[in-house]
Structure 1
Amino acid sequence: MKYALLSAALSALLMAGCAAVLPTARQHFDLEAHRGGRGLAPENTLAAFSNAVDLGVTTLELDIGLTADGVVVISHDTSLNPDHTRDASGAWLAPNTGAAIRSLTLVQLQTYDVGRLNPTSNYGKQFALQQPRDGERIPTLAALFAQVQARGADAATVRFNIETKIDPTKPEETAAPEPMVRALLAEIDKAKMADRVTIQSFDWRTLALVGKLAPQLPRAYLTTPRTLKDSRWTAGIDAAGFASVPQMVRAASANAPGPVIWSPAFADLTPTVIKEAQKLGLKVLPWTVNQRADMQRLMDWGADGIITDYPDILRDLMRERGLSLPPPGKNTKS
């Protein structure tokens, strides 16, 4: 009996020691499907977003622009991209011939098919595993919101990370920041999605406007070394006046109380700078991370989430680490 009690005590101590070194499940690690998960399905299409919800992601990452008739549509490119766009006859667009999204009405825009990659293009070769879905059109943001709402409880927790595609060095290519932001906010309000949306941008003028017009919305400050060196991207803020990028983001975001995210290119991160950003109250959400080893490193360093073209790989890694997984769609195994 004495030995049995001693054995039980030793087992309890051993279990406690193991628990101390096992990773604790983090309830809020943000698994974001970049452009809906373009490694798996045609980017920024309803098919891609549906696939990501089926798989089980925290957030759908996407990009928006405005058509000639002022409709908010989902597109990363400011012009039709020949790498994944065919005309009404099924022919691939010739290089450098894609019309600007801003120059087309919604009806004109939706005559183009964006359901597969051009296999002869260098871009297409990067995503050889992407499953084509012929007939997919550039969708409206309203259509995505409606698709997610139609799934009810199946997608009730899915969030949206929406990037305004504006280049301040090429103002003629898109709508100006204010009409784009106002149109975006109107669609969010119409769909009653404000509690599920983050607005992100490399053009910090956008985020300043969001802070003014919808101050409670989370804002994500996208950065690269190139944009940080040009104050046209940073709403006139000079990087030379700050000791670090997190300090610069914190200063830029001081105009509104909503949650603030710093979203840098993942190669720009170090453990030290992640910790600094988090001490300043910023969440750190790097992009676009597609290699398992890079995901592992960033998770070890304490990133708050990851934006990836391959949400399936990140989901598997989260499962292996004992992290809390976002629920998958009804017909998909976890």
Structure 2
Amino acid sequence: MKNTVKKLTLVALFLSTITLSAQTKVIAHRGYWDTPTNAQNSIQALQMAAKIKVYGSEFDVSITNDGVLVVNHDSDIQGIDIETNSFSTIKNLKLKNGETLPTLEEYLIEGKKYPNLKMIFELKPHKSKENEDRAVLASLKLVKKLGVENQVEYISFSKNICEQFKKHNPNSHVSYLKGDLTPEEAKQMNFTGIDYHFSLFTKNPTWIKDAQNLGLIVNAWTVNNENDMQNLLDKKIDYITTDKPEMLQKLIK
């Protein structure tokens, strides 16, 4: 009798593990910034994402003309173009919450404090392939130096950037954002996943299952409406990126 109970308990634990691993994962868009006195892509937003125990915190990266990687969504900060200016020109500029513009190194060092939090690293398209390529190499070098390779997943709207990440680190997790590739085409390009605006999965209702059947990870962005969230949960999507992570967590529970 005791052996039977023990076996049933082990089976239950195994099934529970499968269920948890298959559950849709929550990604906070630009960190969990939608809190008092906070800002998108700030260190504070990263800390808040870790605090509510989401799967991942997404952030945006560009490289300056002297090779410093910084975390900021737009290609400029306070009207100063990042890619064509030196770091010294922008290093003292402030985010809306008063934080100084974070470098990628500062951001990753903070993220390393939360080993259960994935850092969803969006490398922005740049004005030239040369700048994209050097940004990829600088990113991979820094991630390796800081020992956070297992915490970082890469995404980009640039096919070239995604290809370069895979070329220089074949084991890296790389998902494509733009939405102009079918799941089959993304698989042929050796990407890890597709990460598309949620409306594309409405227009192409088989894409989630098609991609998963090909072994691709599927994410939808940026999903802030409860009905849209539930629709994607019903389709068993792998990840959802949202500005409302706590709302999504409640739906999943």
TM-score range, shorter chain: 0.7 to 0.9
1:318 aligns with 2:239: no
- Residue 27 in 1 paired to residue 21 in 2? yes
User: Could you tell me which residue of structure 2 aligns to residue 72 of structure 1?
Assistant: 69
Gaps of 5+ in 2: 1-17
2:200 match:
268
Structure 1 counterpart SS, 2:66: coil
CA distance in 1, matches of 2:62, 2:32: 19
Q: Is contact 1:287–1:306 with CA below 8 Å preserved after alignment?
A: yes
Aligned length: 231
The structure with more radius of gyration = 1
Q: Secondary structure at the match of 1:166?
A: coil
For 1:199, the equivalent position in structure 2 comes to: 154
How far has the Cα of 1:318 moved from its partner? 1.8
Q: Which amino acid aligns with 1:47?
A: Q
Partner Cα separation in structure 2 for residue 136 and residue 186 of structure 1: 26
Structure 1 residue 211 and structure 2 residue 208: aligned? no
Q: 1:156 aligns with which of 115, 133, 143?
A: 115
Asked which structure has the greater RCO (Cα within 8 Å, sep 6+), the reply is 1
**Could you tell me whether the CA contact under 8 Å between 1:38 and 1:310 is conserved in 2?**
no
Contact 1:65 1:175 in 2 (8 A): no
- One-letter amino acid of the counterpart of residue 293, structure 1: N
Local SS of the residue matching 1:285: strand
Aligned to 1:248: 185
2:56 is matched with which residue: 43, 59, 63? 59
Structure 2 length-normalised TM: 0.85
Residue 269 of structure 1 aligns to a residue whose secondary structure is helix
CA distance in 2, matches of 1:175, 1:314: 39
Greater per-residue strand proportion: 2
* CA apart distance, 1:175: 6.2
Q: Secondary structure at the match of 2:61?
A: strand
Query: Please, which runs of 5 or more residues in structure 1 have no aligned partner?
Result: 1-23, 86-97, 116-132, 229-238, 240-244, 255-259, 320-334
Contact kept, 8 Å, 2:92 with 2:101, in 1: the verdict is no
Aligned to 1:39: 34
Distance 2:165 2:59 in 1: 17
Relative to structure 1, the CA distance from residue 39 to residue 175 in structure 2 (aligned partners, 3 Å threshold; closer, same or farther) is farther
**Pairwise CA RMSD of aligned residues?**
1.9
CA distance in 1, matches of 2:226, 2:122: 25
- What per-residue deviation string (whole Å, max 9, x for no partner) do you get for residues 239-263 of structure 1? 6xxxxx1111111127xxxxx1111
Mapped to 2, the partners of 1:31 and 1:175 lie a distance apart of: 34
Contact persistence 2:158–2:178 (CA under 8 A): no
C-alpha deviation, 1:56, in angstroms: 1.4
How does the TM-score come out when normalised to structure 1?
0.65
Q: Cα deviations across residues 79-111 of structure 1 (Å, max 9, x unaligned)?
A: 12xxxx5xxxxxxxxxxxx11012333333132
* Alignment check: 8 A CA contact 2:33 2:48 kept: no
